[in-house]
Amino acid sequence: MSVTFYWYPKCGTCKKAKQWLDEQGINYTSIHIVEETPNSNELEKLIQQSDQPARKFFNTSGKKYRELNMKEKLKDATQEEMIEWLASDGMLIKRPIATDGNKVTVGFKPEIYQEVWGQ
């Protein structure tokens, strides 16, 4: 199994997830989520495969989220608007995101990683 791992190297949660993948011996390709932000088509696919609403892909604890007052904007936003906002700035995206093309995890909880990515 090969996993695509979208992360931000300065993010502590991302580092923990990366360490977990390394310890499990899981092959992955890491993508810097800010330098190579997924485009709207990629994000739409990730959201569909995750079975999560688009709003779950926002980094609600991030500085950019607060600066742009996203909490208010999301209340009345369509999924298309949310995807466009996410695609416009990788710092708005909750991380890490891991996908094998079928399954998607957003954020890092060891028990969820074990359930989805454990071998």
Which is nearest to 5 in space by CA: 100, 102, 111? Answer: 100
Number of structural domains the chain divides into: 1
**pLDDT of amino acid 115:** 96
Instruction: Look up the domain containing 93 and give its range.
Output: 2-117
How many beta carbons lie within 10 A of that of residue 114, not counting itself? 12
List C-alpha distances in Å: 99 to 4, 68, 72, 76, 81: 5, 28, 29, 28, 23
Mean pLDDT per 10-residue segment, the chain (119 residues): 94 97 96 97 97 96 96 96 98 98 97 93
**pLDDT of amino acid 119:** 73
**pLDDT of amino acid 72:** 96
Q: What is the CATH number of the domain that holds 106?
A: 3.40.30.10
CA gyration radius, the chain? 14
